[in-house]
Structure 1
Amino acid sequence: MPNIESQIFSSYQRNPLLHDEIFDQEGQVKAIYQKLFNLYGEHSIEDYIQLNNKAKSSFFNQGITFQVYGKKETQEKIFPFDLFPRIIDSQEWETIESGVIQRSRALNLFLSDLYHEKKIIKQGVVPLELISSSANYLHQMLGIDPPGGIYNHISGTDIIKHNDGNWYVLEDNIRCPSGVSYVICNRTALKRALFGVFNHYQTHTVTDYAENLLDLLETVKPHGVDQPNCIVITPGMYNSAFYEHSYLAKTMGVELVEGRDLFVENDFVYMKTIKGPQRVDIIYRRIDDLFLDPLEFREDSTLGVPGLFAAYKKGNVTLANAPGTGVADDKAVYTYMPEIIKYYLGEDPILSNVYTYHCSRPQELKYVLENVDKLVIKPVDEAGGYGISIGNKLTKKEINERKKQVKEDPRKYVAQPIMSLSVHPTYIDENHSFEQRHVDLRTFTILGKDKEFVLKGGLTRVALQKGNLIVNSSQGGGSKDTWVLKNQ
């Protein structure tokens, strides 16, 4: 139990088998959280309910929502936000930041190699079949040199803290990683509701993300362009992350457009404006590869721009992230990340992978099929927590169904041990109390030409259902503000 009298923490039940980020094994508040714990402890439950409602109203009034795609209907929801922040000290953050930069650099080199000489395949480090069978490998990208040599301009790396106190990477996201707008909005909402708590900690800002994103994107402008015109392209207002698209465009000070707002002429991209066509040089795209250009990919796409890929191949426009990056965040490729880092950088991984079984390997498939009840099984190409099954939560019938799915298409699945994600005190609305909930962390890394930036905070995602390990908002998860402390 907590070591001071506090009404809002009075019913907090600590499971000693889980790694609690606030309380040590004896139930004492860790030094880094002591001030925060005392400050929050001064509030009654009634006070906290009011503060929580204030934060929710702030999110509602700002339109901070996301779409959940269900089997029967699509719902728009306010993004769940917990007012009790997570704290990461400067030394721990240094390890995280170094680790995610290392992975981003290695993945960029890997992508360049895959679409050019394929040395890593020829030397037998990564199997050819793994790449050639990936749905996200684009043969159209062969031999293309993106401006500035950058493929994964923006990377979202999902990491967890395990029971052993160490950080592990769950997966890499380098297609169109989302969630950064919620990082910034979480900070704004917390400051509005509990401004006084910030006076007691020296915390890095998270509101500098947009300016850094624009700055680094401009380093990879097309050749011969002095002052590049950057835009954000969105599938439209019904996309699950539309709030983020509009937020980032606004904070970068650039136009938010849809495909119908652009056209290509003589292999250059133009935006329609009331003053006439305006050339576009950099496109931060939030549209999936296959919908970018109906002349090159899906003919039925109404989201993209005819001729866009031809302009890209000529080097007349920068696309961030580059098409075809999805081959490198395939969860089967993830199993080779230690070898990829070693091959391209000559370094050992700073952040460890979670041990992963790839079901296309016969021996590993055999083990997975015999131990479905002890494993987390994931599709290699899904995002948002969709398609994931956690073995010890499945019924016998569900286990048999999962076995059948895996056997029918082994390449599509990987499996991992059920990791014990760390837990953090989280306010649960319906119970009016703080309870242990599992958390992870999505970090955001930006690569430019000879420049890089990691947002000092990231998105702490919370599995709001008791005992649940899936933290994605699309699966009912929420988030917390993440404080990275400055050197004291």
Structure 2
Amino acid sequence: MGPPIDKSIFSSYTKKDGLFDEVFKNNGDVKSVYQKLLDLYGSRTIEDYVNLNTKAKSSFFNQGITFQVYGDEHSQEKIFPFDLFPRIISKEEWDIIEKGAIQRNIALNHFLWDVYHEKKIVKDKIVPLELLSSSPNYLHQMMGVDPPNGIYNHISGTDIIKHSDGNYYVLEDNIRCPSGVSYVICNRTALKRALFGVFNHYKTYSVTNYAENLLNLLETAKPQGVDTPVCVVITPGRFNSAYYEHSYLAKAMGVELVEGRDLFVENDFVYMKTTQGPVRVDVVYRRIDDLFIDPMEFHPDSTLGVPGLFAAYKKGNVTIANAPGTGVADDKAIYTYMPDIIKYYLNEEPILKNVHTYHCSRPDELKYVLDNIKDLVIKPVDEAGGYGISIGNRLTKAEIDTVKEEIKAAPRKYVAQPIMSLSVHPTYIDQKESFEQRHIDLRTFTVLGKDEQFVLKGGLTRVALKEGNLIVNSSQGGGSKDTWVLKE
């Protein structure tokens, strides 16, 4: 037996059987990568930690690091919950995650090019045509459109878990408008302020270079004939749940944050209104959903977009990142085909595993799902943020009956997966003033450019703050941790 779990700050920490604990081995020993950290934290009392935690929350509040939960009538904005005890990922494990994320997103980019051009993967009967044609995110307007450098998913968020078997699995792909990267950077800043000196004991990669790298790669996506591109971040406005991130990234990149009303199109070129007169815009990093970016092409009543933007895009006069229509590739019904998609386009075996997924649109799989809902997670294929998910073993009989009826009414809208046991991590629980096991996942951020790609060496570790909860999204009551990737 190794040294006992620290009797001060971790005095009430209890390991539960059957869960993969990121910090402690089954016999209670501290995993080697965490030993220094436990030694450093072990010298502090719970009272010390309460004070540090309060300071961190104040720092988040003062910086405006908040998010909004739609439908929450009691509070418009909430401080993003942040836990000061970081997650550590060894170099060896990170190499697997990084290579797997790059492989996956390069394959998805090939897939997007193909389905909007020759559809070879459909003709070769790898992915069925009806899966594309029935996807609300498959935009016929993108057929034959050639995005600059052939890049569709400039920025991708890949959600990864470690299962109780110790292996990494991808839960889902997010390549429309993936959010959360600003919290990665702010978590690091807050932790450094609260626990100055802790980083001296670990050689970790920086995460604060993300905005600089993102801007460099966005600039490589400039239209032809442009020497020094003007980039902007377009936001739906300050009432959007991720508005803090939009404003943070614009400021960090040194570009303008705009709303649709700040731009206009003339002769198929996009311009920004300024006090010095119109300025041509070359690259638009958009944080607005496809159907709202241009009322002349999509939703005619949208006030968020820019009339004529899509026509300028099709003519190659402006770049939109991510490209319109990318959502067809993160449709959860496409997820099942990812191993085949990787093999088809890259002739490689997938580095990261998929979770087995049942398509309710297939009669035999629909029957299995309906008969076994209590053992499955039911997901709508077109939702994000953890909305609409049903975890079978948490449902009452009446709730199961309701879910069954919803699935039978629209089978194409749902997929099902086995209930995966996400790994757990010691997490400080405010109400109890103690550390407890909580389930976590990891959202990695991959940026694809013309000749290079990078994965932010950290990512967003999300924490399900409710005991036993498997849904980690902030919109569902989740928080986050700083994520350290070690250099050696």
TM-score of the aligned structures, taking structure 1 as reference length: 0.99
Specify the alignment match of 2:192 in structure 1.
191
Contact in 2 for aligned 1:148/1:221 (Cα 8 Å): no
The separation in 2 between residues aligned to 1:7 and 1:71, in whole angstroms, is: 37
Q: Render the CA deviation track for 1:52-78: whole Å, top value 9, x for unaligned.
A: 000000000000000001265663100
Specify the alignment match of 1:306 in structure 2.
307
Contact in 2 for aligned 1:2/1:9 (Cα 8 Å): no
Contact in 1 for aligned 2:5/2:28 (Cα 8 Å): no
Partner amino acid, structure 2, of 1:138: L
Specify the alignment match of 2:368 in structure 1.
367
Specify the alignment match of 1:321 in structure 2.
322
Give runs of aligned pairs for residues 126-137 of structure 1, distance below 5 A.
Answer: 126-137=127-138
Partner amino acid, structure 2, of 1:200: H
Specify the alignment match of 1:340 in structure 2.
341
Specify the alignment match of 1:276 in structure 2.
277
Give the secondary structure class of the aligned counterpart of 1:69. coil
1:424/1:226 CA distance change after superposition, 3 Å: same
The separation in 2 between residues aligned to 1:21 and 1:9, in whole angstroms, is: 15
Contact in 1 for aligned 2:13/2:434 (Cα 8 Å): yes
Equivalent pairs: percent with the same residue?
Answer: 78
Contact in 2 for aligned 1:2/1:23 (Cα 8 Å): no
State the shift of 1:5 in Å: 3.7
Give the secondary structure class of the aligned counterpart of 2:68. strand
The separation in 2 between residues aligned to 1:74 and 1:45, in whole angstroms, is: 29
The separation in 2 between residues aligned to 1:190 and 1:44, in whole angstroms, is: 17
Give the secondary structure class of the aligned counterpart of 1:207. coil
Specify the alignment match of 1:102 in structure 2.
103
State the shift of 1:93 in Å: 0.2
Q: Render the CA deviation track for 1:134-164: whole Å, top value 9, x for unaligned.
A: 0000000000000111000000000000011
1:14/1:240 CA distance change after superposition, 3 Å: same
Give runs of aligned pairs for residues 448-459 of structure 1, distance below 5 A.
Answer: 448-459=449-460
1:473/1:137 CA distance change after superposition, 3 Å: same
Specify the alignment match of 2:407 in structure 1.
406
Partner amino acid, structure 2, of 1:401: T
Give the secondary structure class of the aligned counterpart of 2:274. coil
The separation in 2 between residues aligned to 1:30 and 1:3, in whole angstroms, is: 12
Contact in 2 for aligned 1:291/1:301 (Cα 8 Å): yes
Partner amino acid, structure 2, of 1:207: T
Give runs of aligned pairs for residues 13-92 of structure 1, distance below 5 A.
Answer: 13-70=14-71, 72=73, 75-92=76-93
The separation in 2 between residues aligned to 1:225 and 1:250, in whole angstroms, is: 23
Specify the alignment match of 1:431 in structure 2.
432
Give structure 1 regions of 4+ aligned residues with deviation exceeding 2 angstroms.
70-75
The separation in 1 between residues aligned to 2:280 and 2:5, in whole angstroms, is: 62
Q: Render the CA deviation track for 1:173-196: whole Å, top value 9, x for unaligned.
A: 000000000000000000000011
1:45/1:127 CA distance change after superposition, 3 Å: same
Give the secondary structure class of the aligned counterpart of 2:226. coil
Give the secondary structure class of the aligned counterpart of 1:482. strand
State the shift of 1:2 in Å: 6.8
Q: Render the CA deviation track for 1:282-313: whole Å, top value 9, x for unaligned.
A: 00000000000000000000000000000000
Partner amino acid, structure 1, of 2:163: H
Q: Render the CA deviation track for 1:98-141: whole Å, top value 9, x for unaligned.
A: 00000110000000000000000011000000000000000000
Contact in 2 for aligned 1:438/1:467 (Cα 8 Å): yes
Partner amino acid, structure 2, of 1:386: Y
Contact in 2 for aligned 1:6/1:42 (Cα 8 Å): no
Specify the alignment match of 2:477 in structure 1.
476
Specify the alignment match of 1:112 in structure 2.
113
Partner amino acid, structure 1, of 2:465: L
Specify the alignment match of 1:396 in structure 2.
397
Give the secondary structure class of the aligned counterpart of 1:29. coil
Specify the alignment match of 1:287 in structure 2.
288
Specify the alignment match of 1:248 in structure 2.
249
Give the secondary structure class of the aligned counterpart of 2:191. helix
Specify the alignment match of 2:240 in structure 1.
239
Q: Render the CA deviation track for 1:179-229: whole Å, top value 9, x for unaligned.
A: 000000000000000011101000000001000000011111101100000
Partner amino acid, structure 1, of 2:296: L
The separation in 2 between residues aligned to 1:176 and 1:408, in whole angstroms, is: 29
1:334/1:135 CA distance change after superposition, 3 Å: same
Give the secondary structure class of the aligned counterpart of 1:186. helix
Partner amino acid, structure 1, of 2:392: G
Contact in 1 for aligned 2:359/2:412 (Cα 8 Å): yes
The separation in 1 between residues aligned to 2:97 and 2:252, in whole angstroms, is: 26
Specify the alignment match of 1:169 in structure 2.
170
Give the secondary structure class of the aligned counterpart of 2:77. strand
The separation in 2 between residues aligned to 1:381 and 1:391, in whole angstroms, is: 19
Partner amino acid, structure 2, of 1:128: L
When the two chains are superposed, the root-mean-square deviation of aligned CA atoms in Å is 0.9
1:28/1:75 CA distance change after superposition, 3 Å: same
Partner amino acid, structure 2, of 1:85: P
Give the secondary structure class of the aligned counterpart of 2:337. helix
1:245/1:435 CA distance change after superposition, 3 Å: same
The separation in 2 between residues aligned to 1:469 and 1:273, in whole angstroms, is: 47
Partner amino acid, structure 1, of 2:294: D
Partner amino acid, structure 1, of 2:87: R
State the shift of 1:406 in Å: 0.4
The separation in 2 between residues aligned to 1:74 and 1:190, in whole angstroms, is: 26
Contact in 1 for aligned 2:5/2:11 (Cα 8 Å): no
Partner amino acid, structure 2, of 1:468: N
Give the secondary structure class of the aligned counterpart of 1:397. helix
The separation in 1 between residues aligned to 2:257 and 2:162, in whole angstroms, is: 36
Specify the alignment match of 2:380 in structure 1.
379
The separation in 1 between residues aligned to 2:357 and 2:29, in whole angstroms, is: 35
The separation in 2 between residues aligned to 1:291 and 1:59, in whole angstroms, is: 31
The separation in 1 between residues aligned to 2:261 and 2:171, in whole angstroms, is: 37
Contact in 1 for aligned 2:407/2:414 (Cα 8 Å): yes
- Aligned positions, number: 487
1:314/1:74 CA distance change after superposition, 3 Å: farther
